[in-house]
């Protein structure tokens, strides 16, 4: 009887994790991923999931991280009933759905491979460090590395299932002046010019002291990253709305390269110096005698307390995806526009909700400039994500649905986006040609992808000549040719500027005359929120009286005062590196 009971129990233990009914073999399913179709191949051997292979174009640091985590978990646990990865929910659900379909093809029944697996632990945990960082995005990672360099022990509290946050999906442009890369191209630049253009681009409402810190320290931040092994492309560009040719792009292109570099640096210090809590949203800053001394958080129902002996740094990013809040504070540059749910956001949705602002405000920090919201012209219809061909760089045209140019393509982001809103349907066609993509198999500096891959996804269309392009976008060929010729007259220096104010002042400016031509439809998207926690030049959070809140620091998009009413393209990465570095250093050395 005992043997029978044990056998039954063993059967129940196996049930839900695998099935003798499934047939060995290889099964494939293609599903719609976040960026593009995902093809999943599951290999069944001995009635178990032996391997999972995925062909995808998901974002490095986000979707690709989720895929690896979920594949490993499914194989280890022989179950598809596992927790998704926060911040990559679309990829997670689609991948798990594809795996389930493959198992069904193999003969699995509804309850097979379905044992509930979770890493949730209800026992409270308390950890202690010198510096606790809330938010493991670009600014948080920069703060962590800086604090470690100054001898601190560090804890990172991150609500997503991976590090890097929305830095993973940013274009990666870093504005810095007077660099060796600029000098090699004959570009004259200096921190004062960077300062002046940042002030002007921000409508002269930025805090000049903060802007000076940004401009003066951006070159050394670039060198700091190079010291960690990060490579920059020697071709200096101009991000959308940068106003000058000082945008430095990492190689490989894209913000994830910064994340990978900083993560590798963290790993050098080991678990005794730095601990990371993922899937752990912060819920409260702990106060004692007017000082911030720690953070309370939750990990899947588990209470987590992180005690900070020297300081807490808030680096949780902006609030661009919080539709209700952005509508509430939209009284500035975009007060005439409806920034409701019809307008997407270029950042990771769950990462851009503004919780860090609420935490800091409850601790006494002043919030400033919340109405300063940036709209970017490079959104993809339906999502607002900045996919495929980019508005950054030069030799690209904004063509409306009538076939006309309608704006100086080198203008600031708010000017570009307002011009798009004024067009029929608040949309336009972004047109590029062989100048930008001489080789469809080469990786693009700005997108980090090949034109071949972009064409395969279908959002970008290709035309051999302008007549064919006009047919694709349904405009009069003569009108389209006239629009492009107006640009080319400036690019050939036949006229100094056109009626929109465009001037050919960039080293890359050339006439656009030769096919193939590439086109994608674009819409405005929420890209950055310039308001947030009021900080001083040392990245200390301050109250409404300008007094430092002991133990509290902030860096990155969660702060206000640096970018004014409009951020220059390329200044965000510079901001998070410069002020993240300052926050980490000052917190680590606090008395």
DSSP one-letter code for 185: T
Helix (H, G, I), strand (E, B), or coil: what is residue 541? strand
Asked if residue 33 lies in contact with residue 53, where contact means CB atoms within 8 angstroms, the answer is no
Q: What share of the chain is helix, strand, coil (3-state, %, to 5)?
A: 30, 25, 45
- H/E run at residue 562: none
Q: Which of 540, 541, 528 is nearest to 589 (CA)?
A: 540
Which entry of 413, 436, 567, 581 is annotated as an active-site residue?
413
Residues 6+ apart with CB under 8 A from 252: 443, 448
Backbone angles phi, psi at 332, to 5 degrees: -105, -125
- H/E run at residue 456: helix 451-457
| Partners of 367 in beta bridges | 533
440 is written with which tokens? 């469809």
DSSP calls for 360-423: HHHTT--EE-TT-EEEEEEEPTTT----SS-SSSSS-EEE-TTS-B-S-TTS-HHHHHHHHHTS
In our burial notation (b when 16+ CB lie closer than 10 A, e otherwise), range 260-278 reads: bbbbebbeebeeebbbbbb
Annotated catalytic residue 581: no
Count the neighbouring beta carbons within 10 Å of the beta carbon of residue 514.
12
Backbone angles phi, psi at 42, to 5 degrees: -115, 130
Q: How far is CA 107 from the centre of its chain?
A: 40
The residues carrying an active-site annotation are 413
């Amino acid at each position: 009887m005992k043997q029978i009971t044990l056998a039954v129990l063993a059967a129940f233990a196996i049930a839900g994790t695998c099935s003798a009914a499934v047939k060995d073999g290889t099964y494939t399913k293609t599903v719609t991923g976040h960026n593009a179709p995902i093809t999943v191949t599951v290999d069944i051997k001995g009635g178990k999931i032996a391997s999972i292979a995925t062909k995808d174009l998901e974002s490095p640091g986000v979707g690709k991280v989720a895929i690896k985590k979920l594949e490993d978990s499914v194989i280890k646990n022989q179950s598809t009933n596992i927790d998704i990865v926060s911040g990559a929910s679309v990829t997670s659900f689609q991948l798990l759905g594809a795996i389930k379909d493959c198992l069904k093809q193999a003969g699995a029944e509804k309850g097979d491979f379905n044992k509930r697996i979770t890493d949730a632990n209800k026992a409270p945990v308390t950890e202690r460090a010198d510096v606790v960082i809330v938010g493991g995005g670009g600014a948080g990672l920069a703060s962590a590395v800086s604090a470690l360099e100054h001898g601190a022990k560090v804890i990172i509290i991150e609500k997503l299932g991976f590090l890097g946050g929305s830095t993973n999906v940013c274009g990666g442009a870093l504005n810095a002046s007077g660099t060796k890369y600029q000098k090699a191209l004959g570009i004259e630049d200096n921190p004062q010019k960077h300062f002046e253009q940042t002030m002007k681009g921000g409508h002269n409402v930025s805090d000049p002291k903060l802007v000076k810190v940004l401009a003066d320290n951006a070159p050394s931040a670039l060198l700091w990253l190079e010291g960690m092994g990060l490579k920059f492309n020697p071709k200096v560009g101009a991000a959308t709305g940068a106003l000058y040719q000082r945008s430095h792009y990492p190689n490989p292109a894209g913000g994830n390269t910064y994340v990978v570099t900083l993560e590798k640096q963290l790993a050098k210090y080991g678990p005794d110096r730095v601990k990371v809590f993922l899937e752990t949203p912060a819920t409260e800053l702990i106060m004692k005698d007017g000082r911030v001394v720690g953070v309370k958080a939750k990990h899947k129902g588990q209470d987590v307390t992180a005690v900070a002996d020297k300081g807490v740094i808030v680096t949780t990013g902006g609030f661009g995806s919080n539709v209700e809040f952005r509508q509430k504070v939209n009284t500035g540059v975009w007060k005439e526009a409806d920034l409701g749910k019809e307008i997407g956001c270029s950042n990771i949705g769950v990462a851009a909700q503004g919780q860090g602002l609420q935490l800091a405000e409850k601790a006494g920090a002043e919030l400033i400039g919340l109405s300063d919201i940036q709209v970017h012209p490079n959104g993809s219809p339906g999502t607002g994500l900045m996919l495929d061909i980019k508005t950054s760089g030069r030799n690209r045209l904004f063509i409306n649905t009538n076939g006309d140019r309608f704006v100086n393509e080198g203008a600031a982001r708010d000017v570009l986006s307002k011009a798009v809103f004024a067009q029929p349907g608040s949309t336009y066609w972004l047109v590029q040609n062989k100048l930008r993509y001489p080789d469809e198999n080469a990786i693009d500096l700005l997108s980090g992808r090949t034109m071949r891959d972009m064409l395969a996804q279908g959002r970008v269309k290709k035309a051999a000549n302008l007549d064919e392009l006009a047919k694709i976008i349904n405009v009069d060929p003569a009108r389209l040719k006239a629009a492009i010729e107006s640009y080319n007259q400036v690019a050939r220096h036949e006229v100094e500027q056109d009626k929109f104010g465009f001037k050919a002042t960039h080293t890359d400016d050339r006439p656009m005359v030769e096919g193939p031509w590439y086109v994608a439809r674009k819409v405005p998207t929420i890209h950055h929120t310039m308001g947030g926690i009021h900080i001083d030049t040392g990245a200390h959070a301050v109250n409404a009286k300008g007094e430092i809140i002991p133990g509290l620091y902030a860096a990155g998009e969660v702060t206000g005062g640096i970018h004014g009413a409009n951020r220059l393209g390329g200044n965000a990465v510079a901001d998070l590196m410069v002020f993240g570095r300052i926050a980490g250093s000052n917190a680590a050395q606090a008395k």
